[in-house]
Amino acid sequence: MKKRLAVILAAAMVLTMAGCGGQGDSGNADDAKKPDTSAEESGDEGEADDTGETDDAKEPAEGTTSDWEPSGNVSVIVPYSAGGTTDLSVRGVTGAVDSGKLPGGVSVVVDNVTGGSGLVGISQFINSDNDGQTVGIINCDFIMNMALGNTDLSYEQFTPVGCVMMDGNLVFVSADAPYDTYEEFIEYAKEKGGVTVADAGAGSVQAVVTASTAEALDAPLTAVHYDDAGAAVLGVVSGEVDAVCCSSVTAAAQYDAGNVKPLATSSLERMSTFEDVPTMAECFPDELGTMNVPVWVFLAVRNDTDPAISSYLQDLFYDAIKTDAYAEVRSQFYLCDNNELYLDEEKAQEFFKSQFEYYSEVVKLLDK
């Protein structure tokens, strides 16, 4: 059966002068340490947006059947701490799986395996049996680790079986900041001689967003690297930093409390959950006109997995992604409803390849 999965539009695969997602969404504020306030630098720390449907978009074929069924619990290895962007989005999908579609007594469970900026859990997944009982993830942080040379693993070792999130990064500032637009924020930075932008690590994709926008706009933006995105958001609330680049999941609680306000998104189009927030490309069309830096997470199996197993899991997770239960999770964390844009595996691999090629170029900005 032809493998289907959700991915971003072809426009998202354009290699442009922008940054990408961000690894910092992989932990909790409780794990925070004192931030590194140096300018952008290379590192290995780190953790989506509206993309309308294309002509290639398609759902899994109705009536698809498979002789394979899991013989025990299906374990989904999340390579980050509980409570981060990846963990919460994955748990939203696994929690929405219809138990009636599984054999009696079988459940889908999440196993948090932390360490190595996500690489410990991903390595454990790759080294597990390809029997369908273990599912892993492939995300923007993994591609960043590839670009940084932190791993010999490759996206080609994965067969995606469902997209749990595909959203844009957002730049949040304090609710009482003296600017209400992204243009005003950049102008303020230039007039003041510099501003600080928090992220979740020196090698996070959000750090690349800051580095690449600073380069393109010739703006004095200094990255402040926290140990996780939750701590980075708290840095804005406490006044330690001027802004933070992160996913909507990480900032949702502080946004709901009225403590932060979003100025712009790194996605190609405005996020449906923040319709009044412009894209960076809208704000600076000449310098950032093709920026599209999504935060994305896919569930995946090893690429040598039996197609019948892959098909079973694709259908299982696709059905979960379509549920009202997962829609409620998306609403809680301001995630866009991009998960049902199913394209074939070949296009997914093209997307992963383009992301790797893009990051391989922009990570050079982290040394500046």
Is 10 or 242 the better-scoring residue by pLDDT? Answer: 242
Pull the structure tokens for residue 43: 């590192």
Residue 10: pLDDT band (50, 70, 90) is: very low
- Nearest CA to 235 out of 87, 28, 34 is that of 34
Distances (CA, A) of 146 to 203, 259, 332, 359: 11, 35, 32, 9
- pLDDT tens digits, one per residue of 351-368: 899 889 988 988 888 765
Reported in sequence order, the residue ranges of the chain that DSSP labels E, i.e. its strands, are 4-6, 74-78, 108-112, 134-139, 158-168, 170-174, 195-199, 221-225, 243-246, 260-265, 294-302, 342-344
Average pLDDT over residues 142-154: 95
**What is the CATH superfamily name and number for domain 4-30+50-168+294-367?**
Bordetella uptake gene, domain 1 (3.40.190.150)
Q: Is 231:30 a contact under the CB 8 Å cutoff?
A: no
Q: Cα–Cα distance between 240 and 94 in angstroms, integer?
A: 36
Amino acid at 306: D
pLDDT band for 343, please (50, 70, 90 cuts).
low
Q: What's residue 55's pLDDT?
A: 40
**What's the whole-number mean pLDDT along residues 223-245?**
95
pLDDT in tens, 259-271: 999 999 998 899 9
Q: Rounded to an integer, what distance in angstroms lies between the CA atom of residue 180 and that of residue 157?
A: 44
**Average pLDDT value for residue range 214-233:** 94
Please give the residue that has the higher pLDDT: either 133 or 64. 133
Helix, strand, coil shares of the chain, percent, nearest 5, are 40, 20, 40
User: How high is the pLDDT of residue 324?
Assistant: 94
Whole-number Å distance between alpha carbons of 15 and 354: 7
On whether the 170-288 domain is CATH 3.40.190.10, my answer is: yes
Report the pLDDT value the prediction gives residue 117, as an integer from 0 to 100: 86
- Tokens 């079988």 identify what position? 106
Tokens, residue 298: 């896919």
Res 19: pLDDT: 29
Burial tier of 355 (Cβ tally within 10 Å: 0-12, 13-18, 19+): buried
Confidence at residue 366, expressed as pLDDT on a 0 to 100 scale:
78
pLDDT of the residue at 176: 97
- Residue 250 scores a pLDDT above 60: yes
Domains 4-30+50-168+294-367 and 170-288 share a fold: yes
Give the model's pLDDT for residue 339.
Answer: 61
pLDDT at 166 (0 to 100) = 86
3-state secondary structure 299-329: EEEECCCCHHHHHHHHHHHHHHHCCHHHHHH
pLDDT at 96: 96
- How much of the chain, in percent, has pLDDT values that exceed 90? 63
Give the mean model confidence (pLDDT) for residues 312-330: 93
pLDDT above 80 (res 54): no
Higher pLDDT, 43 or 198: 198
Mean pLDDT, range 92-104, rounded to an integer:
95
C-alpha dihedral, 90 to 332 to 290 to 201, nearest 10° = -60
The pTM score is: 0.79
Is residue 124 predicted with pLDDT exceeding 70? Answer: yes
Q: Which two tokens stand for residue 315?
A: 């259908």
Query: What is the residue extent of each domain of the chain?
Result: 4-30+50-168+294-367, 170-288
Average pLDDT, the chain: 82
Q: Is the pLDDT of residue 69 over 70?
A: yes
Please say whether the beta carbons of 246 and 200 come within 8 A: yes
